[in-house]
Amino acid sequence: MASVRAAFTATLPALGRAAPARRLAAAAAAARPARAAVAAASRRGGATMAAAAGSLADLGTVPDIDGGPLPLAGRPTFVVNVASECGYTASGYQQMKDVLAKYGDRVAVVAVPCNAFGMQEPGSADQIKSFVASRAPGVLIAPKSAVNGAEAHPLFAVGKTAFPGDCGWNFACRFLYDKDGKPVARFDNASSLTDVTAAIDPLL
């Protein structure tokens, strides 16, 4: 729990050492744009999305990179914004690979490619699939997407309803959802495997 609290604190740097009441109020205010982003995502074509999503279960079908459904129901889900040409690529994919090695199919690990930070995910869908398979076989892949703003991928928009704040860089937004699809933790690109597994273990 200490690591989860630390991860949550890390997502709210602007709140500093504010008093608890003010910190909670600021977090609630910051969550409102994220909820709006979820609603916007639900109106876009492609996946069948439900408005005002508060969990992954509310999203309906979330497509993978080939247009089929991501199999997320009934297990914890660990979501990471990825890029293939970033300084965090090796460590980020290693963490996802290690999570899969520890839990197998008991946990869904999802890579969401994003080219917004430094244009470091320039490849086509086929190139991205090949790269992910070479780094972390078994990781599920979403289409290349934005992770901030009104066009943010729903897996990030939902996470930000609980843990507000823009993703600052590649691999800097790692959301963990429980078996019911509710966001329970957020980690950045300094998170360790131990941080992540300590949050996953109670969910199984």
pLDDT digits (tens, 9 = 90+) for 164-178: 999 999 999 999 999
For residue range 117-162, what is the model confidence (pLDDT) as tens digits?
A: 999 999 999 999 999 999 999 999 999 999 999 999 999 999 999 9
pLDDT score recorded for residue 156: 97
Ranges 9-13, 61-65, 94-98: which has the least confidence: 9-13
Ranges 35-44, 48-57, 96-105: which has the least confidence: 35-44
Over residues 40-53, mean pLDDT = 35
> Residue for token digits 């729990």?
1
* Structural domains in the chain plus CATH codes: 2-203 (3.40.30.10)
Q: How far apart are CA 170 and CA 113, in angstroms?
A: 9
Over residues 106-113, mean pLDDT = 98
Residue pair 83/171 in contact (Cβ under 8 Å)? The answer is yes
Residue pair 165/10 in contact (Cβ under 8 Å)? The answer is no
Q: What percent of the chain has pLDDT over 90?
A: 71
Question: Is 114 part of the annotated catalytic residue set?
Answer: no
Q: How far apart are CA 154 and CA 159, in angstroms?
A: 8
Over residues 39-58, mean pLDDT = 48
pLDDT score recorded for residue 53: 58
pLDDT at residue 74 tops 80 = yes
Pick from 61, 93, 74: nearest CA to 203: 74
pTM for the model stands at 0.76
Compute, in degrees rounded to 10, the torsion defined by CA atoms 97, 98, 101, 106. Answer: -90
pLDDT at residue 193 tops 90 = yes
Q: Which of 86, 114, 167, 173 is catalytic?
A: 86
Pick from 134, 154, 16, 130: nearest CA to 72: 154
